[in-house]
Structure 1
Amino acid sequence: MGAEAEPFAVDLNKPLVFQVGHLGEAYDEWVHKPIVSKEGPRFFANDFLELLTRTRWWVIPIVWLPVVCWFVSISLRMGVAPPQAAVSVVGGVFIWTLLEYSLHRFVFHKKTTSYWGNTLHYLIHGCHHKHPMDGLRLVFPPAATAILSVPVWTLFRIISPSSLTPALFGGSLLGYVLYDCTHYYLHHGKPSKGFSKHLKKYHLNHHFRIQNKGFGITSSLWDDVFGTLPSAKAASK
């Protein structure tokens, strides 16, 4: 019998994206052993592709808040009264919190073993768990957000009256902006007390102690509803 093949080892000094797929079943364990460093790894050998993976946090509100206002204005021009538009925006933010939880739990934490499954998972979320303090890969690049927003817009068109759809969608985009900015703050901000300190502890607990619970970022509401709230003992460590 021939000698068993050596398990694949990722070389952190080389671009990572096209390496991680070779880990196969070992990928999940590897990606959930964080490397705490503010210096992020290189993803691609190609400089242009590498640039596309890096986004400053302040780009998110600059790009998307005007879009939020534009969508809300469409509903207003279609005859929706301002109070009704405001309620739709709040409803969109609330719907976003459920989308945030669902994406994080069922998509971002889906276990993969295939080459392309591991590669895609690393790009969309695995990199964040491996390098949680990489400040340039904490928020979603606007191009990726635009692509992901298409099915959300389609869903809102199905479930809401046409005049309210833009305001509802604008609210969900506002929820996304709050989520991404909050997420960045939880990693790099230094809250000293109150809700923000609790939320930072809650989120870092997800990263470093119990990664299969605590999927909410802006709130623990849906973790409580769906039974993925970390135990009080685990959260207090």
Structure 2
Amino acid sequence: MGGKGFIVDMSKPIALQVGHLGDAYQEWAHQPVLTEESPRFFESDFMEMHTRTVWWAIPAFWLPIAFWCISMSYSMGHTLPQVVSMAILGCLVWSLAEYCFHRFLFHMETKSYWGNTFHFLMHGCHHKFPMDGSRHVIPPSGVSVPAALFWFLYGVWFTQSTRPALYGGGVIGYVIYDLTHYYLHHGHPTNQALKTLKKAHFSHHFRIQDKGYGITSALWDRVFGTLPKTNPTKKIE
């Protein structure tokens, strides 16, 4: 049975159940479970392992790759200021990619079995279980394929010597994004800028889920008119 009559059995692995929700999936996924509950997704321990990771695995895995890429451009003859500038530009390009992924891919409308399943594993699970700390950052195994694709595309778009620094800067931007996202859910910011980011992100989760797609910055939300209106009296701990 599918659609509105289907009920997800939370006592069993849920990833292959959610597709049966049909056109009721979107409503279900955006009704958050406000506990630190961390449900099992797959029966297979191997598959389940690739749905979870600790936050520090992200910088530990990706930053050496980023700095190695940046050093490649330096070794190919670019000056240090040029390499730094390219890395900063790569980080800025990532911020736009972050916004586009979140808005157009992570929040796409689905209702088919495999569409719902794919969306749940990609982002729906985060909206359903927003305080599940084991799934707030993306396991390197889940990012490796798109990362390899972007390395190939950078080779098409840029020269051989500029590609590594631009790509490395983008990887640094990605690391900042994932760690910022984790902190916004589990940290207690005292800095006003971080408080503002946290308020905007929680607004995206719990008030207006079709606004506020930027995580590390509201820049592109301002550019594209998707900045949510926040309640100035609402306090975020």
Contact 2:4 2:21 (C-alpha < 8 Å) held by counterparts: no
Partner of 2:212: 214
Partner of 1:164: 162
Partner of 1:196: 194
Unaligned runs of 5+ in 1: none
The superposition leaves residues 187-219 of structure 1 with CA deviations (integer Å, 9 ceiling, x where unpaired) of: 000012410111111101100000000000000
Opposite residue 126 of structure 2, the aligned amino acid is H
**Alpha-carbon deviation of 1:150?**
2.3
**Alpha-carbon deviation of 1:76?**
1.1
Opposite residue 38 of structure 2, the aligned amino acid is G
> Equivalent of 2:143, from 123, 142, 145?
145
The superposition leaves residues 127-174 of structure 1 with CA deviations (integer Å, 9 ceiling, x where unpaired) of: 000000100101111011111112322332222221010000000000
**Alpha-carbon deviation of 1:6?**
7.2
1:88 paired with 2:86, answer yes
Opposite residue 32 of structure 2, the aligned amino acid is P
- Displacement over 6 Å in runs of 4+: none
Which of 134-143 and 151-160 deviates more? 151-160
1:136 paired with 2:139, answer no
Q: How does 1:1-237 map to 2 (within 5 A)?
A: 7-232=5-230, 237=234
The alignment-based identity, stated in percent, is 53
The superposition leaves residues 39-98 of structure 1 with CA deviations (integer Å, 9 ceiling, x where unpaired) of: 311001111211111100000000011001110111111111111000000000000000
**Alpha-carbon deviation of 1:229?**
0.8
The superposition leaves residues 9-35 of structure 1 with CA deviations (integer Å, 9 ceiling, x where unpaired) of: 111111110000000000000000000
**Alpha-carbon deviation of 1:232?**
4.5
Unaligned runs of 5+ in 2: none
Give TM-score, length-normalised by structure 1: 0.94
Contact 2:62 2:175 (C-alpha < 8 Å) held by counterparts: yes
Quote the RMSD (CA, aligned, Å).
1.4
Opposite residue 39 of structure 1, the aligned amino acid is E
Contact 2:90 2:168 (C-alpha < 8 Å) held by counterparts: yes
Opposite residue 101 of structure 1, the aligned amino acid is Y
SS in 2 for 1:187: helix
**Alpha-carbon deviation of 1:121?**
0.3
